């Protein structure tokens, strides 16, 4: 798989009351993720996704950065019957274009940016009800939140951890290297 993607925008979740992100001009990434972002940190407490550990047990943070694609956001919108799905409603940090199969990237794939910044794909970002509730609020359609999880299956994007520090900007070309 030889894929080159384009960064359409970068976002930050710096409001502690919500996972919804806001667009910024660029993001600096450190080994712990994006400073100031709600998912920053080398460790994080286990939750329902890691049910082999007691909830709250500190584990490696493999969800430092969330990436979605323009193409998959369009597919989710079509599946839900709404005009658009914005990446910030999904809590994404990076929106890319150039593939409708971003979510299919295997764990271990590397995403390399022009300045040498390197991210490791940790796998699919499984859909949950939180973004569905945001989408329901935006469109003011009672019950719409229930459509999100099935509509976003295999289209929700990926989560990554930082392998090499650097910066990511709108317009950057991203090279994908499989492990």
> pLDDT digits over 100-111, tens only?
999 999 999 999
* Average pLDDT score over residue span 16-44: 96
Kindly state the percentage of the chain with pLDDT values over 70: 98
Residue 1 confidence class, pLDDT cut points 50, 70, 90 = low
Q: Report whether 60 contacts 43 (CB < 8 A).
A: yes
Residue 58 confidence class, pLDDT cut points 50, 70, 90 = very high
DSSP-derived letter for residue 104 is: G
Nearest residue to 97 via CA among 87, 88, 89? 87
- pLDDT, residue 51, reads 86
Domains in the chain, CATH or no CATH each:
4-177 (2.40.33.20)
Distance, C-alpha 73 to centroid of its chain: 11
Query: Which has the higher per-residue pLDDT, 28 or 49?
Result: 28
Half-sphere exposure of 144 (CA within 13 A, CB side): 19
Task: Read off the tokens for 35.
Answer: 């400073």
**CA-CA distance, 87 to 21, in Å (whole number)?**
8
- pLDDT, residue 2, reads 64
């Amino acid at each position: 798989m030889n894929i080159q993607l384009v960064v359409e925008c970068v976002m930050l979740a710096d409001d502690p009351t919500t996972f919804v992100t806001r667009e910024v001009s660029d993001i600096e990434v450190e080994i712990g993720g994006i400073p100031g972002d709600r998912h920053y940190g080398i460790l994080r407490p286990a939750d329902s996704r890691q049910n082999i550990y007691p909830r709250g047990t500190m584990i490696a943070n493999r969800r430092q950065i969330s990436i979605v694609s323009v193409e998959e956001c369009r597919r989710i919108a079509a599946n839900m019957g709404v005009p658009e799905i914005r990446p910030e409603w999904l809590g994404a940090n990076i929106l890319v274009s150039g593939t409708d199969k971003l979510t299919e990237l295997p764990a271990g794939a590397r995403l390399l940016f022009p300045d040498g910044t390197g991210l490791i794909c940790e796998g699919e970002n499984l859909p949950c009800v939180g973004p569905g509730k945001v989408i329901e609020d935006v469109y003011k359609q009672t019950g719409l939140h229930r459509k999100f999880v099935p509509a976003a299956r295999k289209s929700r994007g990926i989560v990554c951890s930082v392998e090499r520090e650097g910066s990511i900007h709108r317009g950057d070309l991203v090279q994908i290297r499989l492990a």
